[in-house]
Chain A
């Protein structure tokens, strides 16, 4: 079964660092992009950026460039999303998702989501 499994919920304080993960299985992890999508409480979906685990090519939405870092470790089929200094406004649900084929295509596999809560 093709699936993405994300790390568990996090509760942090403003200013702390954080790295959440997304582990792929059931498919060739290095052959598909992995995207990160943010959903703030009661709000819509926002595309943050993507990584191609095969060569670590990474692209960011202009809204998130410089705010987060997307990385991956193909040896363990895992993608990461990290913050160096969290803000209360980073409190949200974060999903990883796999585009069907290329970067522009629909995302047909989604992780279960990781809730990040940041207190000020």
Chain B
């Protein structure tokens, strides 16, 4: 059981916009920055969004992050087949004194 709650799956057709939610609590998302990772099949995770809504160099602006209260969201617009991957939210938890991940969301591009 993960500290952060994500839907196990999401899907969309090419060109669509999809959002993935991440729900936490006051000890984690409520007081700390949220990061998002993309993990393509059989590869190491890649930092997709950091500090709630910042994109690392090289990440397309189709990807965006937001946060409100104890929840965060990742939005992907103009969905492409290469976006098919697992997506994880993560943040620091002040009670556990460590990084916590969401359970991951498997995105399928139909």
Contacts and interface: CB of A to CB of B under 8 A. Distances in A.
A106 interface: yes
A51 B88 CA distance: 22
B47 A45 contact: no
A32 interface: no
Interface string A2-19: 000000000000000000
- For the residues of B in contact with A, the DSSP-based class is strand
Interface stretch (A67-75, A76-84, A108-116): A108-116
Contact of B98 (A62, A108, A111, A113): A62
Contacts of A61: 96, 98-99
Given A35-B99, A47-B98, A104 B33 contact: yes
A21 B49 CA distance: 27
B108 to A, nearest CB: 16
A5 to B, nearest CB: 12
A105 B98 contact: no
A105 B50 contact: yes
Contacts of B96: 61-62
A112 B44 contact: yes
- For the residues of A in contact with B, the DSSP-based class is strand
Contacts of B99: 35, 47, 61, 104
Nearest to A4: B44
Interface string B80-110: 0000001010111000111111111000000
Contact of A106 (B2, B50, B98): B50
A107 B92 CA distance: 12
Closest 9 CB pairs of A and B: A106-B50, A106-B35, A47-B99, A104-B92, A44-B104, A110-B44, A61-B98, A45-B101, A108-B47
Interface of B: 2, 32-33, 35, 37, 39, 44-47, 49-51, 56, 86, 88, 90-92, 96-104
Interface of A: 35, 37, 44-47, 49, 59-62, 95, 97, 100, 103-108, 110-113
